[in-house]
Structure 1
Amino acid sequence: MSKEAEEKIRNKQLIIAMKGHPGTGKSTLAHALASALKFPLIDKDDIRDSTFPLHQHQQPAAGLNDLSYEAIWRVATTQLRLGLSVIIDSPLSRRAHLDRLLDLTATVGARLVIVECRPSDEAMWRERLEGREKSWHKPASWGELQELIKAYDGCSEYDVGNVPRMVVDTTAPNIGVEELVSSVVQFIASAWCPIPPPM
């Protein structure tokens, strides 16, 4: 990873928003980015896991999902008001979620970039999804994932406007997490932290 690009990113206040369906490698990449850049990581799964007692009392799943996002926005707002950059690990599956982030960036003066994980190797994606630790609120099988995507009814494929977005193939052959992190850092640096031309 380029030290120059890394330093340029650290000198800007950023929201790095992950995007993608379950099992696409978002969390692995988000954790690696947070570790490399030393940015706070806000993981929707951490928040959603904490709503399990409400789930046991038959609270509607949609309501708990909305509650999880509301918690993300509040935690992110606090971190950004402290002058920190943040990485938000969530599916970002609806345009309304992006709109909240855009409102947040306008409020605090931060810059937003989207890192979308889209595996090209469906078999590897399926293997990852079905091989990961089971959770009460995540699809556990390929069939469950397909039902979830179908329920989105295309709403997860929305126009992000002029927000810089990098689409990452997390199943590309011979490319490890370190290389992916490096390419994301270079992308962010070029999108929001352009290197001035030589004198």
Structure 2
Amino acid sequence: MKGHPGTGKSTIAQSLASLLKIPLLDKDDVRDSTSPLQVQHTSSSKLLNDLSYDAVFRMATTQLRLGLSVVVDSPLSRRSHLDRLLHMGSSTGAGLVVIECKPKDEAEWRRRLERRGAHHGGGDGWHKPATWSDLERLLEGYGGCTEYDFGDVPRLVVDTTASVPVGDLVSSVVEFISSHTGGRWESCNIEKITCTPSMETRGQVPKFLIE
């Protein structure tokens, strides 16, 4: 997954992992656990964020080496992150597919982000932007580095503020993934949230890294 905070990428990622029955690795799960270190070392925010990426990528590599496909939920905000994924794929024989969440309705995006910020309080997600101003400062700090060339990496951009059910969005994502993975997940049942690999891909199946 790729996308800024509050764009709905975690909702899509969780739905995909449940539907496809594959592991989900969320960078925020690691970042949430670094709170004590953040308190002790106030200047270590970037270091801890980089460490969180590294931990998630290492865990993803382990899953791929076991022959499993995996969904990685992270902002994928820098080209270096994509390069790391491409290296992981080449070293484990896995393909890479990127799903980017990019809301067109900024007002709805803002509403969702600030609603989430109000609910999180001091719990998990303490490091995420809680207000639109927080997000604007974050994006300004990126300096445009989040927009980069994906080359020939398959990428689908999804408008997560479109007036369609989440199931329909997930269905379109699964269709895209299936079209780039030899139809492995073409028999997924969106309504029942179950997935059965195609007959011809049972047994030894190719693995994929869904970011």
TM-score normalised over the length of structure 1: 0.86
Choose from 11, 31, 38 the match for 1:28.
Answer: 11
What is the match of residue 7 of structure 1?
A: none
Q: Describe the SS at the equivalent of 2:81.
A: helix
- Please report how far the alpha carbon of residue 194 of structure 1 lies from its aligned counterpart in structure 2 after TM superposition: 5.6
Q: Describe the SS at the equivalent of 1:192.
A: coil
Distance 1:72 1:35 in 2: 19
Q: Note the aligned Cα RMSD (angstroms).
A: 1.2
Equivalent residue runs for 1:127-166 within 5 Å: 127-132=111-116, 133-134=119-120, 135-166=125-156
Distance 2:52 2:84 in 1: 13
Q: Describe the SS at the equivalent of 2:157.
A: strand
- Please report how far the alpha carbon of residue 136 of structure 1 lies from its aligned counterpart in structure 2 after TM superposition: 1.9
| Count of residue pairs the alignment pairs up | 177
Choose from 91, 102, 120 the match for 2:104.
Answer: 120
Q: Aligned residues: percent identity?
A: 63
Distance 1:93 1:29 in 2: 17
Equivalent residue runs for 1:45-56 within 5 Å: 45-56=28-39
4+ runs deviating over 4 angstroms: none
What is the match of residue 77 of structure 1?
A: 61
Q: Aligned pair 1:176/2:146, yes or no?
A: no
What is the match of residue 110 of structure 1?
A: 94
Runs of 5+ consecutive residues of structure 1 not aligned to the other structure: 1-17
Q: Describe the SS at the equivalent of 1:97.
A: helix
TM-score normalised over the length of structure 2: 0.82
Runs of 5+ consecutive residues of structure 2 not aligned to the other structure: 185-211
- Please report how far the alpha carbon of residue 92 of structure 1 lies from its aligned counterpart in structure 2 after TM superposition: 0.1
